[in-house]
């Protein structure tokens, strides 16, 4: 994208000089000047080819799972013009970028449920590792109003877990995957009202997201297993993501006007061999749209559907129900293992349009590390918006590919730590 716009004037100069040489109109005293231009143009063309090749190859960024749990989830967030999901209580996947000159490392939650890229800014009580615009040679302010970008008039970004962050919008140079830099990336610099996050990397559909600003039309990620104490994952863009189109299942992405979320059409749910009596009409938007989100840990459904899942699961496993609130604050359907191996749990299937997404016990049973008990990793939707969400726990050990040119989502089993 950057290479060709910079090289066109020099290619034009080179062509003009070649015509002049062929017409024998040059005097010998300007020959050194011509040779200089020829060498300069050749060097720029060579550099452009290198940058273009890097762009075509795409990028690879390592993801690291982290635990952000800090108490009860706020189920009644304050109203705002745009309220992004981020209903994560626990496991999230972090990516790191370098921003500014001299570069400062930005660590943020990879979040397909929002758009804004933001990081904590340095202040008098902050840490030196946070971004300080006054120390960057490449920082510049954005003078468009915040509501132009979907923030409220006070430049505050709101999330569904109750978090909000007031930001100053700026433009910076960003370094991705240690391979290429991108100039003029719009991001927010500020202080969140809660201390949970150092930053969030929005990966949604709208213009402020990382994917939109890099002009990437295909990206994918693999989220490592939370049962692995040193879990990592990977984010791929461009041709690196396209190369994963082998033995995949594919379902359409449903576009909703002026929304950044990625919707896929949920047709039904099975527990083991039993298909529950729910259809796509039981979900929030037309055609059974369910948001797939990397920035939400658990899966959100209507309470009655969660109850149906729990009843069928308990009937098939004969586990003992638990009312121990310490198993996990906020998860309702819990049980004691009594020697039960979650690998024996029935396969749960989410029937999306054209595909079946099969979930082993690891992907829907949240358990304490001591293994004494577990809970079904479902939470009830907020009655105000009733958004169904397919959380990142259900996406473990899968390569998930977002293709925005063809408006499809693909997935396949993968060992994400090996990429």
Residue 115 annotated as catalytic? no
Strand partners, 402: 219, 409
Q: Which residue among the candidates 111, 161, 198, 403 is catalytic per the annotation?
A: 111
pLDDT for 339 equals 66
Please check the confidence at residue 5 and state whether its pLDDT lies above 60. Answer: no
pLDDT in tens, 325-357: 666 777 889 888 766 777 789 999 999 999 999
Residue 293 annotated as catalytic? yes
Please check the confidence at residue 109 and state whether its pLDDT lies above 50. Answer: yes
pLDDT in tens, 205-225: 999 999 999 999 999 999 988
pLDDT for 285 equals 66
Most confident by average pLDDT, 41-50, 165-174, 184-193: 165-174
pLDDT in tens, 122-151: 765 555 558 899 999 999 999 888 888 888
What average pLDDT is seen over the chain? 78
Q: What angle do CA 269, 397, 211 make, to 5 degrees?
A: 95
- Cβ–Cβ under 8 Å, residues 237 and 214: yes
Tell me how far apart the alpha carbons of residues 361 and 345 are, in angstroms, rounded to a whole number: 5
Domains of the chain in start order, with CATH, are 2-56 (no CATH), 60-215 (2.40.70.10), 245-414 (2.40.70.10)
Please check the confidence at residue 179 and state whether its pLDDT lies above 70. Answer: no
Global confidence as pTM: 0.80
Q: Is 230 exposed, middle or buried (0-12, 13-18, 19+ CB in 10 A)?
A: exposed
Tell me how far apart the alpha carbons of residues 142 and 294 are, in angstroms, rounded to a whole number: 28
Please check the confidence at residue 393 and state whether its pLDDT lies above 90. Answer: yes
pLDDT in tens, 11-43: 333 344 333 333 443 344 444 443 444 333 333
DSSP 82-145: SEE----SSEEEEEEEEETTTTEEEEEEEETT---EEEEBP-TTS-TTSB-GGG-TT-EE--S-
Where does the pLDDT of residue 315 fall: very low under 50, low under 70, confident under 90, or very high at 90 and above? Answer: very high
Please check the confidence at residue 80 and state whether its pLDDT lies above 70. Answer: no
Q: Which residue among the candidates 91, 160, 161, 293 is catalytic per the annotation?
A: 293
pLDDT for 283 equals 75
Specify the higher pLDDT residue, 57 or 37.
Answer: 57
Average pLDDT over residues 398-402: 97
Where does the pLDDT of residue 59 fall: very low under 50, low under 70, confident under 90, or very high at 90 and above? Answer: confident
pLDDT for 223 equals 94
Cβ of 186: how many Cβ atoms within 10 Å?
Answer: 17
Specify the higher pLDDT residue, 84 or 395.
Answer: 395
Please check the confidence at residue 68 and state whether its pLDDT lies above 60. Answer: no
């Amino acid at each position: 994208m950057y290479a060709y716009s910079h090289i066109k004037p020099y290619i034009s100069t080179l062509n003009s000089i070649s015509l002049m040489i062929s017409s024998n109109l040059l005097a010998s005293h300007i020959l050194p000047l011509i040779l200089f231009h020829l060498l300069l143009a050749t060097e720029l063309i060579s550099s452009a080819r290198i940058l273009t090749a890097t762009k075509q190859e795409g990028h690879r960024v390592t993801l690291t799972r982290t635990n952000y749990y800090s108490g009860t989830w706020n189920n009644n967030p304050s109203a705002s013009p745009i309220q992004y999901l981020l209903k994560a209580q626990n496991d999230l996947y972090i990516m790191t970028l370098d921003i500014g000159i001299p570069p400062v490392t930005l660590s943020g939650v990879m979040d397909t449920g929002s758009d804004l890229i933001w990081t904590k800014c340095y202040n008098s009580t902050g840490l030196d590792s946070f971004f300080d615009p006054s120390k960057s040679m490449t920082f510049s302010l954005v003078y468009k109003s915040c509501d132009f970008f979907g923030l409220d008039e006070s430049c505050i970004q709101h999330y569904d877990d109750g978090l909000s962050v007031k930001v100053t919008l700026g433009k910076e140079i960003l370094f991705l995957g240690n391979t290429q830099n991108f100039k003029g990336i719009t991001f927010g610099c500020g202080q969140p009202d809660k201390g949970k996050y150092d930053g969030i990397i929005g990966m949604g559909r709208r213009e402020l997201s990382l994917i939109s600003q890099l002009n990437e039309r295909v990206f994918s990620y693999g989220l490592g297993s939370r049962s692995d104490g040193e879990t990592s994952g990977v984010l791929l863009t461009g041709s690196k993501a396209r190369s994963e189109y082998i033995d995949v299942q594919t379902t359409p992405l449903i576009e909703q006007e002026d929304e950044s979320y990625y919707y896929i059409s949920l047709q039904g749910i099975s527990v083991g061999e039993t298909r529950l009596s729910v259809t796509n009409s039981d979900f929030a938007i037309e055609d059974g749209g369910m948001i797939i989100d990397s920035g939400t840990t658990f899966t959100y459904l209507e309470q009655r559907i969660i109850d149906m899942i729990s009843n069928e699961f308990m009937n098939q496993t004969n586990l003992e129900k638990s009312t121990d609130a310490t198993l996990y604050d906020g998860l309702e359907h819990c049980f004691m293992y009594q020697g039960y191996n979650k690998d024996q749990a029935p396969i749960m299937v989410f029937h999306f349009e054209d595909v079946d997404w099969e979930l082993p016990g690891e992907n829907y049973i949240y358990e304490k590390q001591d293994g004494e008990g577990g809970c079904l990793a479902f939470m009830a939707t907020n009655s105000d918006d009733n958004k169904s969400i397919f959380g990142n726990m259900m996406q473990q050990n899968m390569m998930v590919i977002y293709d925005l040119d063809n408006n499809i989502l693909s997935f396949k089993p993968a060992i994400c730590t090996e990429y």
